[in-house]
Structure 1
Amino acid sequence: MPTHMPEDILRRFRANDPTVLQELFQQYYLLVCKAICRFIHDQDLMKDLAQNVFVRLWEKRGQLNINSSVPAYLHRMAVNEALGHLRRDWRNDQDAEVPEHSSAGTVEDQFLETELRDHIERAVDSLPPKCKVIFQLSRYEERTYREIAEALDISVKTVENQMGKALRILREQLQEYL
């Protein structure tokens, strides 16, 4: 596919030209997969998420505003898709851990546990983007600092510093629950 300026791609998308999606898919599918596989190690899931990136791209074609190169835009979409999946997966795991009608606690205990989980989720969501990604990979995906450093192309020391920052922020925000 010849290199297109973002304006040309936007024009073709807005004109509902399906060939532009096919061209982008053929040229950038591997780039999208590579970005996703840094976070997702299940190959079938990675392929599904990569397809989701292109489906979302097509669905949002009327609202697209590409201010960077097309590869950079698709890479960002892929990373967001992978992290979104991890976040949804973690939330589902958390919901599965709390039985609907637990005889171990009162309704008040269940309410407090749900409230605490919501506070934790909001606190994690409020972290600076880099801290948030590193925290999620460490705590939700149980990745080692070395694995995180390799996945994000940063040093292990940067991972350590960002985790320290994330934990300080979370401690401050969740002080009343500690």
Structure 2
Amino acid sequence: MQVDRLHLQQQLLNRLKSDDKGALQEIFQDNYQKVCGAIFRLTKDTGITEDLAQEVFFRFWQKRHQIEITASLDAYLRRMAVNEGLAYLRSRKYFTEEIEPHSAQMSDSNTAEDRFLHSELEQNIRSAIDGLPPKCRMVFQLSRYEELSYQEIADQMEISIKTVENQMGKALKILRQELKSYLQILILCLPFWW
């Protein structure tokens, strides 16, 4: 079954490399929702997600003659989507400046102090994630935002599961350290928030 799937995928990629726009249309129809899902988890904005998803397929078409996919086309496109989303966020300095998406979900009944603490926590988390080493950050985001298994992350990044485990452990250790002082304050205040 897996062999048939890989064979069909290779045929589709061969058609794509022969400039067959019908192949791109098939790939687009099969993967558009998955690509949008991967991007939306990062941007939380439907319009931006759709724009970036189209950019993913545009870039995919541009690179069609150089593309070498040995594993899964789905994973390849998902990686492109995540990279596109992360590039957008970096260009907007999302991790250090923007705090609106989650803050907007807060109830109007929250006090100014609650809103301040919430936005400060969001900012600190984004800052800590952005400060992770690149490979560490990618593993963390694929695990937490994309909800991929360690095996899927290993396949997508073309690294071993052990490396994924090590990078995830390193990311969590760094984040715990970076957020330690804030989390202690949060724990002390917790009884008043319930």
TM-score, structure 2 length as denominator?
A: 0.52
For 1:131 and 1:166, the matched residues in 2 are separated by 14
Q: Is the 8 A contact 2:132 2:171 kept in 1?
A: no
> 1:125 Cα deviation (Å)?
8.5
Note closer, same or farther for the CA distance 1:79–1:165 as it changes in structure 2 (3 Å cut).
farther
Task: Tell me the residue number matched to 2:89.
Answer: 86
Secondary structure of the residue that 1:64 maps to in structure 2? coil
Return the alpha-carbon distance in structure 2 between the equivalents of residues 6 and 31 of structure 1.
17
One-letter identity of the residue aligned with 1:74 = L
Aligned AA (1:77): M
Which AA in structure 1 matches 2:38?
A
1:33, 1:46 within 8 Å by CA — same for their partners in 2? yes
What amino acid maps onto 1:163 in structure 2? L
Counterpart of 1:42 in structure 2: which amino acid?
A: D
1:151 aligned partner:
145
Alignment of 1:1-178 (within 5 A): 3=5, 5-90=8-93, 127-131=133-137, 150-153=144-147, 160-164=172-176
Report deviation, 1:7. Answer: 2.6
Per the alignment, residue 141 of structure 1 pairs with none
Alignment gaps of 5+ in structure 2: 98-129, 149-168, 180-194
- The answer to whether the Cα contact below 8 Å between 2:12 and 2:23 also exists between their aligned partners in 1 is yes
Cα distance change, pair 26–166 in 1 and its aligned pair in 2 (3 A): farther
Following TM superposition, the consecutive aligned residue runs of length 4 or more in structure 1 with deviations greater than 4 angstroms are 164-167
Residues 64, 125 of structure 1: alpha-carbon distance in 2 compared, 3 angstrom cutoff: farther
In the TM superposition, what whole-angstrom CA distance separates every residue of 1:66-110 from its partner, at most 9, and x where no partner exists?
12211111111111110111111119x98xxxxxxxxxxxxxxxx
Q: CA deviation at 1:5?
A: 3.6
- Residue number in structure 1 paired with 2:192: none
Whether contact under 8 Å (1:149, 1:159) holds in the other structure is no
User: How big is the shift at 1:130?
Assistant: 2.3
**For the structure 1 residues 128 and 7, does the alpha-carbon distance in structure 2 shift closer, same or farther, using more than 3 Å as the test?**
same
Q: TM-score, normalised by structure 1?
A: 0.56
Residue 38 of structure 1 aligns to a residue whose secondary structure is helix
Q: In the TM superposition, what is the alpha-carbon distance from 1:151 to its structure 2 partner?
A: 1.6
Aligned-residue Cα RMSD (Å) equals 3.6
Structure 1 stretches lacking a partner, 5+ long: 95-123, 138-147, 168-178
